[in-house]
């Protein structure tokens, strides 16, 4: 690969652009185990107890997580927990602070 070039999955237009660099290989592993792509989406909600969820959609898993402030990775533990659940075989899950 030429120096300074990016792999396609790391471009800003890919579904991996919201994934912190340290978690990209973990997302790929979870996708392999689940047998379908995982789409990550940041959400903001007025529900203070909501942390994140996994929802099975036709052809992919949607991993949504509460984000306190865009650009900061305070939500990494939430993403890691949701990925752990996908790796364990869950395809629908809800994480709450309760």
Q: Please count the CA atoms within 13 angstroms of the CA of 85 that sit on its side-chain side.
A: 21
Which pTM was predicted? 0.77
| Joined tokens for residue 26 | 């973990």
Domain ranges of the chain: 8-96
Report d(CA 51, CA 1) in Å as an integer: 38
By three-state DSSP, how is residue 25 classified?
A: helix
**Interval 28-85: pLDDT, tens:** 999 999 999 999 998 888 888 999 999 999 999 999 998 865 555 668 889 999 999 9
Q: How far apart are CA 44 and CA 58, in angstroms?
A: 24
Assigned CATH for 8-96 = 3.30.160
CA angle 27, 56, 19 (to 5 degrees): 25
Q: Does position 10 have pLDDT exceeding 60, yes or no? A: no
């Amino acid at each position: 690969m030429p120096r300074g070039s990016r792999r396609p999955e790391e471009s800003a237009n890919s579904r991996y652009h919201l994934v912190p660099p340290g978690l990209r290989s973990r997302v790929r592993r979870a996708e392999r185990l689940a047998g379908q792509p995982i789409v990550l989406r940041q959400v903001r909600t007025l529900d203070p107890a909501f942390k994140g969820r996994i929802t099975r959609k036709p052809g992919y898993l949607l991993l949504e997580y509460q984000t306190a402030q865009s650009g900061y990775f305070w939500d990494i533990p939430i993403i890691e927990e949701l990925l752990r659940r996908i790796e364990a075989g869950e395809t629908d899950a809800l994480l709450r602070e309760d």
